[in-house]
Every structure is written in C-alpha cells, then in structure tokens.
Amino acid sequence: MAESSIQQKAQAAWDRIEALGGHGVWDDNVVYVILAGTEVTDKDMAIFRDFPFVQLLDLSHTRVGDGALDYLDGLKALETLIVVGAQMTGSALEAFRRAHPHITVTEKKERPPQGAINPFTGKPF
C-alpha cells in the first residue's frame, strides 16, 4: 500500500528531527519530540508544518527564540511545551500562553511532584 503524501511529509519531518539530534516517541497514541540540547534554530521549527501531531515538545537549552513560537501555532495536539533555558522572552511566552491556554508551558526547571512518573521510562522521577 502506497504511503499518502501526508505520511511521506511526516516521515521526512521525523527524519529531519532525528538529523537535528532530536528524538522522541511517535506511535498511535503518543507523539513526544525532544530537541533539548540540540543546535535547532527558529527556522528549523518549520518542520512542524508537516508534523503537526506533537503532544509534547521539549526545546530546552536550545538557541530557539521568539520566532520559533510562530511555527507552533499549527500544533493542534500540543499539550506541553518545555523551554527551560531557551532564548525566548517572557513577553513572547506570555503572548503564546494567552493564545494557547490549553498548552502547559514550562520555562523554569522545577522538581516533578512527588510520585510523578517519567513518561519515557514509566518509573518515578
């Protein structure tokens, strides 16, 4: 069975995420993308135009700035955005929060609540 154009674009975007040094989980129920600590740029965020299924996106300790947020508007499934140590301004993050009140934005390193489970390992933090 031939892949659809959407599937091909999504696979190409996932390949680009991995080429940038990113990783994550992409299956039927969960789509997490971790680009933390990579050399990803604001312009690289354009890959999410072809990969809009992301539920959790970690851009911590990257050089992405305010311009990256413009590319995230199309991520309708996004629930969590982690930008600890990224180069975004407080005013840009506040505007993003107002425009996307359903998305949890974490910009400061916080200890997970007691008993919280690491979504990648399934074990407590």
Number of domains, the chain:
1
Residue 50 lies in a domain: yes
| Any domain includes 125 | no
Residue pLDDT, tens place only, 31-45? 999 999 999 999 999
Q: Specify if 118 maps to a domain.
A: no
**Spans of the chain below 70 pLDDT:** 1-2, 109-112
Residue 87 lies in a domain: yes
Q: Whole domain around residue 89: which residue ranges?
A: 40-108
- 115 within domain boundaries: no
- Would you say 119 and 96 are in contact if contact means Cβ atoms under 8 Å apart? no
What are the strands of the beta sheet with 104-106, ordered from one edge? 23-26, 31-34, 56-58, 80-82, 104-106
User: What pTM value is reported for the model?
Assistant: 0.83
